[in-house]
Amino acid sequence: MTSASDTAAATATGPQPAASAGAAVPKASFDGWPVALVFGLMLAGWPLVGSTSTWLTLTMAGLAMGMIIFIIASGLTLVFGLMDVLNFGHGVFIALGAYLATSVFALMSGWTTSPELWRNLVPLFVTMLVAMSLAAAVGWAFERVLVRPVYGQHLKQILITMGGMIIGEELIKVIWGTTPITIEMPEALRGVVTFAVGSDTAAFEKYRIFATLVGLVVLAVMLFTLNRTKLGLLIRAGVQDREMVEALGYRIRRLFVGVFVAGSALAGLGGALWGVYQHGVLPQIGSHVNVLIFIVIIIGGLGSTMGCLIGALLIGLLANYTGFVAPKVAMFSNIGLMVLVLLWRPQGLYPVANR
Amino acid sequence: MTAALLTLQGVHTHIGAYHILHGVDLAVPAGQVTMLLGRNGAGKTTTLRTIMGLWAASQGAVHFDGAAIGGKAGQLTTPDIARLGIAYVPENMGIFGDLTVRENLLLAARQARTVEQMDAQRLEWLFGLFPALQKFWLYPAGKLSGGQKQMLAIARAMVEPQRALLIDEPSKGLAPAIVQNLITALRELKQTQTTVLLVEQNFGVAQALGDHVAVMDDGVVVHSGAMAELAEDEGLQQRLLGLSLGAHA
Amino acid sequence: MLNRLLSHDLPRNRWLALLLAAIVLGLAFTPFLFPGTKALNVAAKVIVFVVLVASFDLLLGYTGIVSFAHTMFFGIGAYGVAIACTRIGPTWGAVLTGMALALLASLLLSVLIGLASLRVKAIFFAMITLAVASAFLSLGSQLSDLTGGEDGLTFKVPEALQPGTRYLDGPVLGASIDGRFLTYYLLFFAAAALVLVMLRIVNSPFGRVLQAIRENDFRAEAIGYRTVVYRTLASVLSALFATLAGCLLALWLRYNGPDTTLSFEIMLDVLLIVVIGGMGTVYGAVVGSALFVLAQSYLQDLMKLASLQLESAVEGVPVLAQLISPDRWLLWLGILFVLSVYHFPAGVVGRLRAMRGAAR
């Protein structure tokens, strides 16, 4: 046994691999192929789009859209990975977030019409907060009432969460009505930031920059939580082998509810951002985005956060490129991408072990 | 005989329509190693899983240190059973392949929030027993060899002091040299006077480690007694296990 | 003889038998019993839905596959007839050509989908079918040259079926004997035949294997049944029946558009009916469709009445009135659906049949 001082030194930084380990010990090697795929798509888009400035604009728009989709989908993939629950009603939280955005904006119209940036940001942050909290509350109720009784029964889950979505959508129609509601972009976030590219100009919508920043913050918080905290460790382990985590003494059922609620909150946040991005909401906004989300998490691998991010970016980029080059095939291009990815990796870009 | 820390009385377990345990009576003495032997399909794994609450006993009772943890008297959830100080090493080892060795051990150390908070002395001891752990500290556990994974699984169960360990077929599929390492490591565990219930098909391992033995067949315990007794009686071995010590030495 | 006709799958419960008899007889004699175009339309819708829902149940209830792409085949059938009649002209040849092409297209697609369902897990599959269905819907509105886009296609049917064609000058027992009358009975007998065929299929050895696969596909494979083959066959059969239902609908409506057959609402309706009626029973489709379509058509009027009454009573509370507005009928259906999944997993039919067990 080592002496007390050695032990103290070891404790300071935690046990390290023995110095005499010989050749460098390979750590977890990062699988970069899917990331390369994103860059590949961006590169492929360039000649198809034609002009560099347009390409830059579309790429930025695609990445922004991708970040919003990532925010929405990240909760769903974790919920499935950890709890083996597929929530077909995830769209409810999206719709809720989007509609709440309309209400907040309507109430705070004084702030949104002001030309000062900071005054414009306030309603946005209020919207995000309200959307997250209410979506979290609804999520909690959803889990309690609809999902909890059918853990482990996939067929019933699909049916019940679909039912929940129908009910949710109808209730939204009851509260907000069935006609589409437009959202006025706050003054200072309207318009674009341009810069010259050769003889053309590329334009980045200011709002999209904001959305991307929010997305990056969410990503950073998620990655930090998952990789550097014990809670994150529990979630990652639970995604792989729920039973073993319980056998190690952790009451993972409680964690489920927390993750479900967090996932719903994220969906609400994403929904609010999406509603503003689209400049308006429809009652079907939830189901529309739902399909996109499903494609994203299938591409990414059910349960993988990284996969979800890559999948979302790919879909965002693809939507913008095809929207410009060949709008009619937009939906099919998503499915085409999904089929291609599944042919390459049947479990998604980053399959989760033990599934 | 020392008092039993863990007892099963008349335990039946059903999995869906299948009736696996048909009234298991088992007493695991405290501070000693009890071997649970038997053919494939005898119900050994089911017994361990029933104790851990992963499958609920449909009849009978499971007691730990006098308190009911399973069966009609009251069924605790698996995490609560684990928190009583029972560690479980399943047949498939339950290693989290995507997590590093470090993360696997941290997860098992319930008292520690970070690696720094883990008991350094205990870790040193484990490194001494299982050098591979230290060598592959930051390596994803899924990339370890079978034997190394088994070592990690057992180390996980030992990273904090436990009152009882349930280990399911640790030597399965391992090369003889690795099995020797395993026996050495488990012998050290024995020194700590932890109660162990070890399922094994390898009679050599069983004989090297066991103080007591229980033999199962068709979902019931058909023999229980001191290991030394069984080791000496080849005829009994033949009858119960269909083999003799010589076959595995 | 009735036994043989129903492939030995009797209702096995007095109430269920009465209900079924009432529905069948009601549908058989609608033109005489319930005069007026609305009643006839409702009845035709019931007939079409019975076939559609039963075909979906073949997939969901008997084989255990969840697919949201079912309305795709419904749409293919309807568009097949619609496009053929528009392009070629209102002749029987066109109708049959359209039907044949639609069946072929459905055959190919369902084989693809059936095979795909085996490469991926059930949850994956459900999500993928959702995506495919959305794509198909957008395709329907995008290919406007072929499909008439959002507006759809209005077309003429063969002369024998046209409403203007009169066979007898005066009404017989309250029903005017014209092309409409003929179309109605074409639908009725075609649907009846299809339902009986489906009964035969699910009660055959093939049907039993499907149920075995639903219960435990691993075991079915172990016993020696190639689940791939059976599942694909079930997908194909289910798709073909749905296609035929679509053809029938097109003939009745003389119109087809994306919302008529491809919309997600219809998929949800089918799902609701299957669950409420009873999964894994053809009778569930019959009872469920009848109840659903009747409710959808007539309950809404009741709700409108109630909501108008309530509006005057609760002047300042718009939300309350909105809750029972007839447009929000789906809300209550959704609640009923969720309750059914929990408490009546075997649906109405299952409940009724179980009652017989208890009475013994």
C196 touches C51 (CB < 8 A) = no
Q: In this complex, do A233 and B103 lie within 8 Å of one another by their Cβ atoms?
A: yes
CB-CB under 8 Å, A174 with C323? yes
C-alpha B62/C-alpha B80 separation (Å) is 14
Whichever domain contains C321, its CATH number is: 1.10.3470
Quick check: C291 and C276 in contact, CB under 8 A?
Answer: yes
CA-wise closest residue to C57 among C189, C193, C207: C207
C-alpha distance from residue A66 to each of A22, A58, A70, A283 (Å): 44, 12, 6, 22
List beta partners, residue B140: B100
DSSP string, chain B: -PPEEEEEEEEEEEETTEEEEEEEEEEEETTSEEEEEE-TTSSHHHHHHHHTTSS-EEEEEEEETTEEEEETT----HHHHHHTTEEEE-TTTT--TTSBHHHHHHHH-TT-SSGGGS-HHHHHHHHHH-HHHHHTTTSBGGGS-HHHHHHHHHHHHHSS--SEEEEE-TTTT--HHHHHHHHHHHHHHHHTT-EEEEE-S-HHHHHHH-SEEEEEETTEEEEEEEHHHHHH-HHHHHHHHSS-HHHH-
Secondary structure letter of residue A130 according to DSSP? H
Strand partners, C224: none
Residue spans of the domains in chain B: they are 4-91+165-248
Q: What is the pLDDT of residue B2?
A: 67
Cα separation of A70 and A57, whole Å?
Answer: 20
For residue B61, what are the β-bridge partners?
B9, B71
From A155, which residue of chain C is nearest by alpha-carbon distance? C66
Q: Which residues contact B165 (CB under 8 A, 6 or more apart)?
A: B86, B87, B88, B89, B157, B158, B189, B194, B195, B196, B197, B198
Q: Which H helix or E strand runs over A230? A: helix A230-240
CB contact under 8 A, B97 and A353: yes
Using DSSP bridges, classify how beta strands B33-38 and B212-217 pair: parallel, antiparallel or unpaired: parallel
| Residues B71, B52: Cα–Cα separation, whole Å | 11
Nearest Cβ partner for C341 among A160, A167, A291: A160
Q: Is A24 part of the contact surface with chain B (CB cutoff 8 Å)? A: no
Of B94, B98, B100, nearest to A353 by CB-CB distance is B98
Q: How many alpha carbons fall within 13 Å on the CB side of residue A11?
A: 14
Closest-CA residue of chain A to C274: A159
Number of Cβ within a 10 Å radius of residue C317: 12
Q: Which of C119, C120, C124 to mutate to test the interface with A (most CBs of A within 10 A)?
A: C124
The shortest C-alpha distance from A214 to chain C (Å) reads: 28
- Alpha carbon A122 to chain centroid, angstroms: 23
Alpha carbon of A306: minimum distance to chain C alpha carbons (Å)? 19
- A165/C270 Cα distance (integer angstroms): 16
Q: How far apart are the first and last CA of chain B?
A: 29
Instruction: HSE, CB side, 13 Å, CA atoms: give it for residue B56.
Output: 9
Q: Which residue of C has its CA nearest to A177?
A: C322
| Burial category of A275 from C-beta neighbours within 10 Å (exposed 0-12, middle 13-18, buried 19 and up) | buried
Spans of chain B, pLDDT less than 70: 1-2, 242-249
Question: Are the beta carbons of B136 and A237 separated by less than 8 Å?
Answer: no
The pair of three-digit structure tokens given for residue C319, joined into one six-digit string: 């939300």
* CB < 8 Å to C149, chain A: none
Which residue stretches of chain A have pLDDT < 70? 1-29, 197-198, 353-355
Residues C6 and C197: their CA atoms lie apart, in Å, by: 9
The C-alpha angle A327, A333, A336, rounded to 5 degrees, equals 165
Task: Please name the fold of domain B4-91+165-248.
Answer: Rossmann fold (3.40.50)
**Residues of A in Cβ contact (< 8 Å) with C264:** 287
Gap between the Cα atoms of C60 and C52, Å rounded = 12
Q: What is the residue type of A135?
A: A
pLDDT at residue B246, rounded to an integer:
46
Work out the minimum CA distance from A158 to partner chain C, whole angstroms.
8
Please give the residue range of the domain that contains residue C325: 2-359
Of A61, A217, A216, A185, the C-alpha closest to A120 is A185
Q: CB-based contact (8 Å) between C317 and chain A? A: no
Q: Name subunits touching C (3+ CB pairs < 8 A).
A: A
Q: Which residue, C84, C105, C86, C79, is CA-closest to C95? A: C84
ipTM for this model: 0.89
- How far, in Å, CA of A27 to CA of A33, rounded? 18
Q: Which long-range contacts (CB under 8 A, 24 or more apart) does C140-148 make?
A: C140/C75, C140/C79, C140/C258, C140/C262, C141/C258, C142/A328, C146/C83, C147/C79, C147/C82, C147/C83, C147/C258, C148/C82, C148/C86, C148/C257
Residue ranges of chain C with per-residue pLDDT less than 70: 1-2, 8-9, 118-119, 310-322, 324, 326, 356-360
User: Which pTM value belongs to this model?
Assistant: 0.80
State the Cα–Cα distance between residues C160 and C178, nearest whole angstrom: 9
Measured distance CA(A37)–CA(A350) in Å, rounded: 13
Task: Determine contact: C212 vs chain A, CB below 8 A.
Answer: no
Query: How many other C-beta atoms lie within 10 A of the C-beta of residue C338?
Result: 21
Identity of the residue numbered B219? G
Phi–psi pair at C53, nearest 5 degrees: -70, -40
Measured CA to CA, the distance from residue C258 to residue A286 in angstroms comes to: 20
**Six-digit token pair at A350?**
């980053």
- Total domain count for chain C? 1
Q: How many CA atoms lie within 13 A of A146 on its CB side?
A: 31
Residues 6+ apart with CB under 8 A from B32: B2, B195, B196, B211, B212
Is residue A4 within 8 angstroms of chain B, CB to CB? no
Structure tokens at A17: 């691999």
Go through the domains of chain A in sequence order and give each one's CATH number: 50-344 (1.10.3470)
Here the tokens at position C232 are 């694909």
**φ, ψ for residue C89 (rounded to 5)?**
125, 160
A95 and A268 in contact (C-beta within 8 Å)?
no
Q: Which residue's entry shows tokens 């509350």?
A: A137
